[in-house]
Structure 1
């Protein structure tokens, strides 16, 4: 018996008594238990949801992307399963959708959608910005073929959300280092800027690496950097940033630094001004 198990199976197998189950374990889904005081992670909950389905479901969506290695997933996200079940417990989303044999694979003993099918489901079922962030994270962790996803679009032409999926696929970029960076890139695209390049390496006059910029437009030497919390809490990173900005300016780069509290309109205005000054014609 592992740390995540079905209570009825543990009792039937003689591993636990009903008293011990109630005394030492807590349920995360109906008849699925973990030790008390254990904070269930998204991987724990994904495995628990699969056990709840009596090992019949196919794991998909954000949970599947996590199993494929995608990062930046909160532990309390709903676990999406491909399963014909009308009223799943809270925390589980059951979708009665068709899958072919080439759309699933095994990770351990669990049936999981392939990266392409996972992308197909992410792009259809999530809100636009969230979907692109999850697609970026999946592409970064487990690169998938956009062409393979489009083949699924042709296989299921009437599937829910395919129009949004078609819009998002050309925008997917595994270079995004966080959902915040994806959001910033989408902000620029929606504002009419050319699609920015991600992870731009900058070298100095001697060919030494100076910095890899989050995103930007090399033709105009304009870039944007999202400063997350690590820039505030990590002293080493803070000192490194202080030293690198003058070098980037000397090399001709105009970098818009963005923090969470910035207003979208201000970010667009600052970046537009820099781009126009470098010759961009909106």
Structure 2
């Protein structure tokens, strides 16, 4: 019974995948409905859902239900005004639905977008806001804490601090952890003019892989959208990205390393080549590799160094690869890439 109550408590918008498909489950659930909802959650939310403590925005009309008065809202130690007419608790106790990887920036944008939706329920998160909420990688220098939303309503005006209103038509909408966002396919093309060529490839790699909550779209969908567009912004960057995006990439640094190898004149390595290991009867998949010469290249992030478990796994994997006759080259953010270029050349020449 506890499972039924937990599921039935989820907001209806969490149970929809697209604004184009607005049907929601009824408020009174049968066992069959619960099974369908659990199946939906398993197939639609590809990463497990989590709940974190975060403020839930409310408006003046909610004061009575919350047992509050207008005078209470003036206490800044208790309440913070997000936008004019929308407040949140300064010390929240509410639990909000979020992806398991969500951090402070994700929760901050979730609160601001949720607050704005109370005032303008027909807008949709887009641009850098949608990228943050989807968990797509953005370059560090692209720091923007504004809330970006899009609408097809030409008459809508929003004049609020740190809110940017975009206008468009024909875009698809995805309900992502109870938030309406422009689809990841449309977002890729919206971000194209804002990102460098390599950064756009990293976004595409993340969008079609299992990074964070993906895959959010597919390479076929991105290509079809590009072919169907008569007017395409940053067309050169988009075409280059679509030729270089690869499935199953685990991290933006893997993307960076693969592109670095290509841009330095080496053949493109295979992403996660399968290596059959006879020692433990398993398949090993290094980050990058050249199966024809049995050369593997691994990118070692900081967690490989700080996690004793991951460190042990890395050692064992390297030993197993070497037992199969493979050479393993390792790269980290501290690697001298000029030296690495010469080392790689000795194997690929």
Q: TM-score range by the shorter chain?
A: 0.7 to 0.9
Q: If the length of structure 1 is used for normalisation, what is the TM-score?
A: 0.78
The answer as to 2:147 corresponding to 1:95 is no
Distance in 1, Cα, partners of 2:345 & 2:159: 49
CA distance in 1, matches of 2:81, 2:297: 45
In the alignment, which residue of structure 2 is the partner of 1:260? 333
CA displacement at 1:46 relative to structure 2: 3.5
Matches of 1:28 and 1:250, distance apart in 2: 59
Unaligned runs of 5+ in 2: 1-53, 93-102
Kept in 1, the 8 Å contact 2:82–2:115? The answer is no
Listed one character per residue, the Cα deviations across residues 58-93 of structure 1 (whole Å, up to 9, x for unaligned) are 22345435655x46679x764432247686633x54
Aligned pairs, number: 270
SS at match of 1:89: coil
Q: How does 1:13-92 map to 2 (within 5 A)?
A: 16-21=68-73, 22-28=76-82, 32-36=86-90, 40-49=104-113, 51-52=115-116, 54-65=120-131, 70=135, 78=145, 79-83=147-151, 89-90=161-162, 92=163
Q: Tell me the CA shift for residue 19 of structure 1.
A: 4.3
Q: 2:342 aligns with which of 250, 269, 274?
A: 269
Match for residue 173 of structure 2? 104
CA distance in 2 between counterparts of 1:29 and 1:265 reads 51
CA distance 1:32–1:233, shift in 2 (3 Å): farther
Q: CA deviation at 1:251?
A: 1.9
Whole-Å Cα distance in 2 between the matches of residues 139 and 250 of structure 1? 33
- Shift of residue 139, structure 1, vs aligned partner: 0.8
**Secondary structure in 2 matching 1:181:** helix
Give 1:118's aligned residue.
187
Gaps of 5+ in 1: 277-282
- TM-score, normalised with respect to structure 2: 0.65
| Local SS of the residue matching 2:285 | strand
User: Following TM superposition, by how much is the alpha carbon of 1:222 offset from its aligned partner in structure 2, in angstroms?
Assistant: 1.4
Give, in whole Å, the separation in 2 of the partners of 1:143 and 1:9. 36
